[in-house]
């Protein structure tokens, strides 16, 4: 995996492919390549290299790649390391068929053994090369038929783009478990794993579904299922803003997105809060409102940053609505054979809406009869389309791999869901008005918090050479501590762990010495004095304390090494504000260490394989 851009039309393909790949760089990758059908000699011209798109561009100057049909790819290594040989596209033995692939072929070893027994020589360590040879094995002059036949025996997940030099007017795409969409223009068509790669060309999109195989020609396309039966897919119009994908005056997308949070939260809540009624109106849940009144249990399933947002949501829903909530790692959910009753509601949370583990959890929940609602940022994503309903974040494009504004938007959406459920059950009109107004005020409070960036930079300069961090919080702020530690790990490569503050004495305190910075999230609330007690214990063992707290919490002044004071709001909504300083701390430390903040090593924006 990670990104596919393909083109068939009347324009030179290579500039379109290269520009599309650049728009997918934010997803993370370690190599890139393309195959273009040379219109001068009718042969495939293939160039691929480890490293960045710039290296691919330089390498492309050495060949003649004129032609209006081509496929391209950015790869994140799964089978085989990030080398020139393992980069995509992969070719059949005769060099006539080229394939790019997102996903994992689970039975590639068995298929490879068959091919080797037939005399096929492999040059890479990838599962994708198996696909190219396997399609070639069935090719008898019709590429579409060869792909259909080959896919019958391939197990696993794939988003495929395939071309053949014998058929200069054909581009084949196939999808199972890995996103793929068509961008439609007059006399030209784009095939991509991410619509941001083609938004500058068209807003007319056709999303492929699992087991779809599309045959694209210059004058149109047809879609079949994997058995060769015709299927119909609707064209949709998507909204896009190219400016959203530009850094502007910011040095990194991550910093830009941290500072976009006030506007992202305004967009997230706009038209959804009914302040005078103390309630929320979420259009994506309208069809489920009656059912929501009867639920007696909620499961929220997610991965990574979304999981920590879900943990905050658990506290919100249980406190305001009195409904028991369980938060499950999506990667474990379907393997536990989860018990789902008739009145159990399942929420899936994913920024991209393409997370493979979360999609698998969604399918498992639906298989067991649950109503599944989604919380996603990307409109038209697979999870959004597979759900029974849901709520979009409207946070805008998030390019930086380490999620920031999507996290705070997820927490705000979960707070509005909790408000809606609470008003159906236990929240009074007066309580609802107080909470709705508190949610509505969050963008302004986040704006105030962002003004602390320079102060946090000064703190970062004291600790950017550290090798370990601990993050502590209680109740609502335990998941904030977990998310803060994750951010630091993701972009600074410093080992960091998040714990409930009270757990420090059950083992982790053994790690405390003068070289261990400890970040404590301790706004003034009912548990403040208990967290202060934990902090005193850490200080007594020589730990360095960075405390995120609210105004007038004087006991901390006596012993904290650094204090970050943030605005105060409803206790349950403090995670939205408290997470911002932790984002900035991670960002500044990573920059001081000279790291690639937007595309940290080994990470991708959308994890589409197990």
Per residue in 77-108, pLDDT tens?
A: 777 888 999 999 999 999 999 999 998 898 99
Per residue in 371-392, pLDDT tens?
A: 999 999 988 888 988 999 999 9
Segment 415-444 shows an average pLDDT of: 96
Per residue in 450-481, pLDDT tens?
A: 999 999 999 999 999 999 999 999 899 999 99
Per residue in 269-311, pLDDT tens?
A: 999 999 999 999 998 887 777 788 889 999 999 999 999 999 9
pLDDT of residue 472: 94
Segment 201-215 shows an average pLDDT of: 92
Among all chains, which residue has been given the structure tokens 């004071």?
565
Cα 406 from Cα 396, distance rounded (Å): 9
Q: Is the pLDDT of residue 268 over 70?
A: yes
Segment 494-503 shows an average pLDDT of: 90
| More confident position, 526 or 456 | 456
Segment 482-507 shows an average pLDDT of: 92
- Which residues participate in catalysis according to the annotation? 2, 605
Hey, what CATH class is 248-450 in? alpha beta
Fold of 2-240: 3.60.20
Cα 518 from Cα 232, distance rounded (Å): 56
| More confident position, 352 or 536 | 352
Segment 393-406 shows an average pLDDT of: 91
Segment 350-356 shows an average pLDDT of: 89
Return residue ranges of the chain for CATH 3.60.20.10. Answer: 2-240
Segment 419-435 shows an average pLDDT of: 95
Return residue ranges of the chain for CATH 3.40.50.10490. Answer: 248-450, 451-598
pLDDT of residue 219: 83
Cα 41 from Cα 281, distance rounded (Å): 60
Q: Is the pLDDT of residue 532 over 90?
A: no
Segment 318-341 shows an average pLDDT of: 91
- Per-residue pLDDT band at 241 (split at 50, 70, 90): low
Cα 280 from Cα 268, distance rounded (Å): 12
The least confident of 191-200, 567-576, 599-608 is 599-608
- Per-residue pLDDT band at 62 (split at 50, 70, 90): confident
pLDDT of residue 502: 80
Query: What percentage of the chain exceeds 90 in pLDDT?
Result: 68
The least confident of 326-335, 409-418, 456-465, 509-518 is 509-518
Q: Is the pLDDT of residue 608 over 60?
A: no
Segment 198-208 shows an average pLDDT of: 90
The single-letter DSSP state of residue 576 is H
Sign of CA dihedral 59, 65, 66, 72: negative
pLDDT of residue 355: 87
Cα 483 from Cα 25, distance rounded (Å): 24
Instruction: Decide if 87 contacts 67 (C-beta within 8 A).
Output: no
Exposure letters 221-236 (e unless 16+ CB within 10 A, then b): bebbebeeeeeeeeee
Report helix, strand or coil for 566. Answer: coil
What are the DSSP calls for 337-393, one per residue? Answer: -----TTEEEEEEESSS--HHHHHHHHHHHHTT-EEEEEESSTT-HHHHHSSEEEE-
Question: Which pairing describes strands 69-75 and 90-91: parallel, antiparallel, or unpaired?
Answer: unpaired
- Per-residue pLDDT band at 263 (split at 50, 70, 90): very high
pLDDT of residue 607: 61
Per residue in 544-594, pLDDT tens?
A: 899 999 987 767 777 889 999 999 999 999 999 999 999 999 999 999 999
Phi/psi of residue 286, each to 5°?
Answer: -55, -40
Sign of CA dihedral 311, 315, 317, 323: positive
Mean pLDDT (the chain, rounded): 91
The strand order across the sheet containing 544-549 reads: 495-500, 468-473, 517-521, 544-549, 562-565
Q: Is the pLDDT of residue 115 over 90?
A: yes
The strand order across the sheet containing 297-302 reads: 325-329, 297-302, 344-350, 371-376, 389-392
Segment 240-265 shows an average pLDDT of: 82
Closest to 27 (Cα-Cα) out of 8, 7, 53, 47 = 53
The least confident of 28-32, 422-426, 489-493, 540-544 is 540-544
The structure's pTM equals 0.78
Instruction: Decide if 120 contacts 114 (C-beta within 8 A).
Output: no
CATH of domain 451-598: 3.40.50.10490
Instruction: Decide if 493 contacts 542 (C-beta within 8 A).
Output: no
């Amino acid at each position: 995996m990670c990104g596919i851009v393909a083109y068939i039309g009347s324009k030179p393909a290579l500039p379109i492919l290269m520009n599309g790949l650049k728009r997918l760089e934010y997803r993370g990758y370690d190599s890139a390549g393309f195959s273009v059908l040379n219109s001068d000699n009718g042969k495939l011209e293939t160039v691929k290299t480890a490293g960045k798109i710039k290296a691919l561009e330089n390498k492309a100057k050495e060949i003649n790649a004129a032609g209006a049909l081509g496929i391209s790819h950015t790869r994140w290594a799964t089978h085989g390391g990030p080398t020139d040989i393992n980069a995509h596209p992969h070719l059949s033995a005769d060099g006539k068929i080229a394939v790019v692939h997102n996903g994992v072929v689970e039975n590639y070893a068995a298929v490879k053994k068959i091919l080797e027994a037939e005399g096929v020589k492999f040059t890479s360590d990838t599962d994708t090369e198996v696909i190219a040879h396997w399609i070639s094995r069935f090719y008898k002059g019709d590429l579409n038929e060869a792909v259909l036949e080959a896919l019958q025996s391939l197990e696993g997940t794939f988003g495929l783009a395939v071309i053949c030099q014998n058929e200069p007017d054909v581009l084949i795409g196939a999808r199972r478990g890995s996103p793929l969409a068509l961008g439609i223009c007059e006399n030209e068509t784009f095939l991509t794993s991410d619509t941001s790669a083609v938004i500058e060309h068209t807003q007319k999109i056709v999303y492929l579904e699992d087991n779809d195989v599309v045959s694209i020609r210059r004058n149109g396309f047809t879609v079949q299922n994997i058995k060769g039966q015709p299927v119909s897919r609707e064209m949709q119009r998507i909204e896009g803003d190219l400016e959203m994908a530009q850094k502007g005056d910011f040095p990194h997308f991550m910093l830009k997105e941290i500072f976009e949070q006030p506007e992202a939260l305004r967009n997230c809540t706009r038209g959804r809060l009914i302040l005078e009624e103390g309630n929320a109106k979420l259009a994506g849940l309208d069809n489920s409102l009656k059912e929501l009144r009867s639920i007696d249990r909620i499961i929220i399933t997610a991965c990574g940053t979304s999981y920590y947002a879900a943990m905050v949501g658990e506290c919100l829903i249980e406190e305001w609505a009195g409904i028991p909530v369980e938060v499950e790692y999506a990667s474990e959910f379907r393997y536990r054979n989860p018990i789902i009753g008739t009145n159990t509601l399942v929420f899936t949370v994913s920024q991209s809406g393409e997370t493979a583990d979360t999609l698998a959890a969604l399918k498992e929940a639906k298989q067991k009869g649950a109503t599944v609602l989604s919380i996603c940022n990307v409109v038209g994503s697979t999870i959004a389309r597979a759900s029974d309903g849901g709520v979009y974040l409207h946070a805008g494009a998030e390019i930086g791999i380490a999620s920031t504004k999507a996290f705070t938007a997820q927490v705000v959406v979960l707070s509005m869901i909790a408000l809606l459920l609470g008003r159906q059950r236990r929240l009074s009109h007066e309580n609802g008005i107080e909470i709705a107004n508190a949610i509505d005020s969050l963008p302004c409070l986040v704006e105030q918090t962002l003004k602390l960036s320079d102060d946090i930079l000064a703190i970062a300069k004291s600790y950017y050479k550290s090798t370990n961090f601990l993050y502590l919080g209680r109740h609502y702020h335990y998941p904030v501590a977990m998310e803060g530690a994750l951010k630091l790990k993701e972009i600074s490569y410093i080992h960091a762990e998040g714990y409930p503050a009270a757990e420090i004495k059950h083992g982790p305190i053994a790690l405390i010495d003068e070289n261990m910075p400890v970040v404590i999230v301790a706004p003034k609330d009912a548990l403040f004095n208990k967290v202060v007690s934990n902090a005193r214990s850490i200080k007594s063992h020589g730990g360095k304390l960075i405390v995120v707290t609210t105004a007038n919490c004087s006991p901390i002044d006596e012993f904290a090494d650094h204090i970050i004071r943030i605005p105060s709001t409803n206790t349950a909504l403090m995670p939205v504000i408290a997470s911002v300083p932790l984002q900035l701390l991670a960002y500044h430390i990573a920059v001081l260490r000279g790291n690639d903040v937007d595309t940290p090593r080994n990470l991708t924006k959308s994890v589409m394989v197990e």
